[in-house]
Amino acid sequence: MNVQDASLVQPAADNGTDRLLMDRGSLIKRTEAVATAAAAEAEDVDLRARFPKATFDAAREQKLLGMLIPVAFGGFGASVDEVSEVCYTLGRACASSAMIFAMHQTKVACLVRHGIGSAYHEQFMRRVAAEQLLLASSTTEGQNGGNIRSSAAAVAHRDAEISLVRNATVISYGAEADGIVTIARRADDAAASDQVLLAVGKDHYTLERTQGWETLGMRGTCSAGFELKIKGPAAMIFPESYDKIHAQTMTPVAHLCWSSVWAGIAAAAVERAQRFIRKAARGAGGQMPPGAAHYTAAKMALSKMRAMIASHLDLYSAHEYDERALASLDFQSAINLLKVQASELAVETTMHAMRACGLSGYRNDGEFTVGRHLRDALSSPLMINNDRILANIATASLMSGVPAALRD
């Protein structure tokens, strides 16, 4: 598919960016093709903790890896809203595939929002679209956990060349990626919070595995630990400092896409619970099984989750190009709390689905098993720990007033 494809509707000028509205039908078809591949290998991906190769072959074939990239750079110019829809659909099929897709798109969003105007990053974006490169993320470092706004490793500068050695605790699909987007301290004498972001192609880094990935869930993300060594042109560093990129793009896009993945996992569990309750009721002459109330509770939690994600997607798209609004305490608190709430609701929904199915949901075999969904959903409160987010937000929450009306 190329940009001349008849299924794409030509362009809507949108705040000066080159946007091409993808026909909804075309996006749905492309997403379905990838989701079908994801569903087919989901169990094996989980069992063997292996990378979902067939899914990403399909994503490349459908050109979805470059969907966010503006048309002028060879992509579809899709919105974060559209990417989130894909995350949700993939989440229903295979949580690991969906999370890989979400993490990749978050890195692409940084390139799109903060790379335009930099020849190196524009060229990198063109390559992502043309070659359907898969980008991994390295933010977690050493024992620092989810404290992303603090880096230990510093960029070493030598004329127009730079180098960086990073103890990357976790890099999902690091071994399978074609490029890495990573944070680092600006220079040896910079403070831990004075960070830059780098987009690095495979020809400029090496990875040496330091830790495996034998986990409860999200096994197909293959999030092993590595020593990451980077050497290449200084142009790999984004012109803007990381604090801005973090607030404007990295956090909002990550939280919107991750939440959509988790909603997808929860929806898949609800679907199984619905089939179970229907079958049980049919088998009992219409009599509802005792777990039926848990199915209703699962549906209720899922609706809450979807509504919350949708309203935050609207909030983000309303302010996407407004730096001040994105940096405001209100927006930052809202987008961080979305992550906390969506992850808690994902676990709650999936747990209700399991209780609705009873033993049939608890067993690892059979058509009503929700074990994989629950294991995958349990990663969500930890992925940038909710406790850390709540503690960080406490001061900001004290500063904003209690709303005077129901609607702003």
Ligand X SMILES: Cc1cc2nc3c(=O)[nH]c(=O)nc-3n(C[C@H](O)[C@H](O)[C@H](O)COP(=O)(O)OP(=O)(O)OC[C@H]3O[C@@H](n4cnc5c(N)ncnc54)[C@H](O)[C@@H]3O)c2cc1C
Binding footprint of ligand X on the chain (CB under 6 A): 103, 136-140, 145-146, 170-172, 218, 221, 223, 379, 382-385, 387-388, 391
* Residue with the CB atom nearest ligand X in the bound state: 145
CB of 386 to ligand X, least distance (A): 7
Q: What whole-number distance in Å separates Cα of residue 376 and Cα of residue 91?
A: 10
The DSSP secondary-structure symbol of 359 reads: H
Contacts of 147 (CB under 8 A, 6+ apart): 388
Q: Which is nearer to ligand X, 32 or 387 (CB)?
A: 387
Q: Which is nearer to ligand X, 78 or 254 (CB)?
A: 254
CB of 99 to ligand X, least distance (A): 6
CB of 381 to ligand X, least distance (A): 9
Please state, as a whole number, how many other Cβ atoms lie within 10 Å of the Cβ of residue 365: 8
Q: Which helix (H) or strand (E) holds 291?
A: none
CB of 296 to ligand X, least distance (A): 30
207 DSSP β-pair partners: 228
Q: What whole-number distance in Å separates Cα of residue 80 and Cα of residue 175?
A: 26
Q: What whole-number distance in Å separates Cα of residue 226 and Cα of residue 35?
A: 29
CB of 384 to ligand X, least distance (A): 5
Which candidate, 263, 278, 398, places its Cα nearest to that of 341?
263
Are 147 and 388 in contact by the 8 Å Cβ rule? The answer is yes
Are 58 and 34 in contact by the 8 Å Cβ rule? The answer is yes
Q: Which is nearer to ligand X, 153 or 218 (CB)?
A: 218
Burial 347-364 (b: 16+ CB within 10 A, else e): bbbbbbbbbbbbebbeee
Burial 242-275 (b: 16+ CB within 10 A, else e): bebbbbbbbbbbbbbbbbbbbbbbbbbbbbbbbe
CB of 145 to ligand X, least distance (A): 2
Q: Which is nearer to ligand X, 12 or 175 (CB)?
A: 175
Q: Which is nearer to ligand X, 219 or 272 (CB)?
A: 219
CB of 335 to ligand X, least distance (A): 16
Q: Which is nearer to ligand X, 164 or 218 (CB)?
A: 218
Which candidate, 366, 375, 376, places its Cα nearest to that of 272?
366
Q: Which is nearer to ligand X, 8 or 109 (CB)?
A: 109
Q: Which is nearer to ligand X, 146 or 358 (CB)?
A: 146
CB of 50 to ligand X, least distance (A): 15
